[in-house]
Structure 1
Amino acid sequence: MRTVRIMVSAALLPLLAGGCIRTTASVVTAPFKVAGQAADWATTSQDEADRNFGCEMRKKEAREGRERRDWQKRCRKDPENCGAYDGYVAGRDN
């Protein structure tokens, strides 16, 4: 008789618990999900790295363009003292 009660109780437990089992499963898996999200935030994907590199190069090329235009303007005003461009060049470590 006692075993029958235990078996019936065990069979009814999921019905009585309802959403508790699902909640328990969520609580158990939450730390793993948080750790995975933190790892995603901490690392840089290849697409993101490429996008950042492209943005950086565009900024450097814009700076080079401004400096070359200024150099050309100075050369037009004083061609005697104008040598080769030795200003900023994008892509070269300055």
Structure 2
Amino acid sequence: MRKSVIAVIALLPLLGGGCLAKTAVSLATLPVKATSKAADWTTTSQSESDRNYGRKVRKQEAREGRELKRQFEECRAQHRDDCDQYRPHAER
């Protein structure tokens, strides 16, 4: 009985060695992974920049379109003849 307990205790480091080594590697690489993740969060990629710029341009064009439409409707309400300069692009 005593020999089997000693044998099991002697084999424990061999059986758990892979887990300990993997944990040690994970702990050693953790700062590198955290730093790279932080860099990803703080920097903007070119595709993100392009997407954000496109969204900004579309919103600006939509604002300009609404403003032109409002000016056109005001001009027509005043029965003026020079309203074509305010006509939204889709109606030209």
Distance in 1, Cα, partners of 2:18 & 2:42: 37
In the aligned structure 2, how far is the partner of 1:81 from the partner of 1:32? 66
TM-score normalised to structure 1 length: 0.66
Aligned match of 2:53:
53
Identity %: 50
Q: TM-score, normalised by structure 2?
A: 0.67
Q: How does 1:1-94 map to 2 (within 5 A)?
A: 15=14, 17-78=17-78, 79=80
Gaps of 5+ in 2: 1-10, 87-92
CA RMSD of aligned residues (A): 2.3
Q: Alpha-carbon deviation of 1:75?
A: 1.5
State the distance in 1 between where 2:53 and 2:71 align.
27
Deviation at 1:15, TM superposition (A): 2.9
- The Cα shift of 1:19 comes to 1.2
How many Å apart are 1:77 and its aligned residue? 2.1
Question: Structure 1: how far apart are the matches of 2:52 and 2:71?
Answer: 29
